[in-house]
Amino acid sequence: MSISSRHVLAVVGSLQARSSNAALVNAIQPMLGPAIKLVTTRALHDLPPFNPDNESENVPTAVVAWRAELAAAPVVILATPEYAFGIAGSLKNALDWVVGSGEFVGKPVALLGASTMATGAGLALEALERTIRVMSADVLTVLSVAHVRAKIDHEGNVIDEETRAALGSLAEKIVDRLTQ
């Protein structure tokens, strides 16, 4: 698939078929407008467990593809559920593969997290923000969505106006960055 320079790469830490975080990411596409394409990566499904022995030599094919996908993205959305008060393991694994390779240096990134708890994905987002900042990313915004299951219907549509507005604000920051 050919990807234009006016696209946003979405990385969803949950691998669930009916992920709440994926539903929130999908709700952002129409808010970006017709000129900007949202592309959700499947890389997290393919990456092997991080092994520093294979970080620079004998790099697995899936890792090479993941790094190329990140390098080509003008803006990235990282979305994570909160598992045991932390980042989803699949997302952390994906980030570990690119700590030393530099794809996030100066990269505009929006952080999004959703949880069924009243605290939202606050703790996961704190950890994710620390991780991504140490990788020298440019964090555009951080959005935590609490009680997410009450805000999304069975088809994955965002039914909560406040959540839709917050996603709209996130989308606006991304569009502003892409049009600078």
Residue 5: pLDDT band (50, 70, 90) is low
Angle among Cα 121, 122, 123 to the nearest 5 degrees reads: 100
- Coil, helix or strand for 48? coil
15-55 pLDDT, tens digit per residue, is 988 899 999 999 999 999 999 999 999 999 999 999 999 98
**CA torsion angle 77 179 98 131 (round to 10):** -60
- 32 phi and psi angles, rounded to 5 deg: -80, -15
Q: How far apart are CA 37 and CA 94, in angstroms?
A: 22
Predicted TM-score (pTM) of the model is 0.94
Q: Which of 122, 113, 111, 132 is nearest to 85 (CA)?
A: 122
Q: Taking residues 129-154, report their average pLDDT.
A: 97
Q: Taking residues 72-100, report their average pLDDT.
A: 95
Angle among Cα 112, 151, 75 to the nearest 5 degrees reads: 25
Q: How far apart are CA 35 and CA 125, in angstroms?
A: 29
Domains of the chain in sequence order: 7-178 (3.40.50.360)
Q: Quote the pLDDT of residue 52.
A: 93
97-141 pLDDT, tens digit per residue, is 999 999 999 999 999 999 999 988 999 999 999 999 999 999 999
On whether the CB atoms of residues 163 and 146 are closer than 8 A, the answer is no
Q: Which of 94, 133, 87 is nearest to 112 (CA)?
A: 87
- Coil, helix or strand for 63? helix
* Other CB atoms within 10 A of residue 24 CB: 28
Q: How far apart are CA 165 and CA 41, in angstroms?
A: 25
On whether the CB atoms of residues 128 and 109 are closer than 8 A, the answer is no
